[in-house]
Amino acid sequence: MNKREMMLRQINATLKIEKEYVRKFNDLLKSPNITEENRIIIEELKQASLEAIARHKRFRLLYM
């Protein structure tokens, strides 16, 4: 396996993890028992995950 293939595998694995985080954050935000303070924190974490997904998609294009 060369460096390019290894980087693509790593990027795809990270994308999968980040997408799972976004799904979990969406589920938490739908919960009626969440406080406003926790909602703000979860929304910030979700936004960070979405930015990471966009960043990794750009990196993936570099290695394709």
Domain residue extents for the chain = 3-63
For the segment 4-18, what is each residue's pLDDT rounded down to a tens digit?
Answer: 899 999 999 999 999
* pTM as predicted: 0.85
Cα end-to-end distance, the chain, whole Å: 15
Buried b (16+ CB within 10 A) or exposed e, 3-13: eeeeebeebee
List CB contacts of 63: < 8 A, sequence separation 6 or more. 4, 7, 8, 11
The pLDDT tens digits for 27-60 are 999 999 999 999 999 999 999 999 999 999 999 8
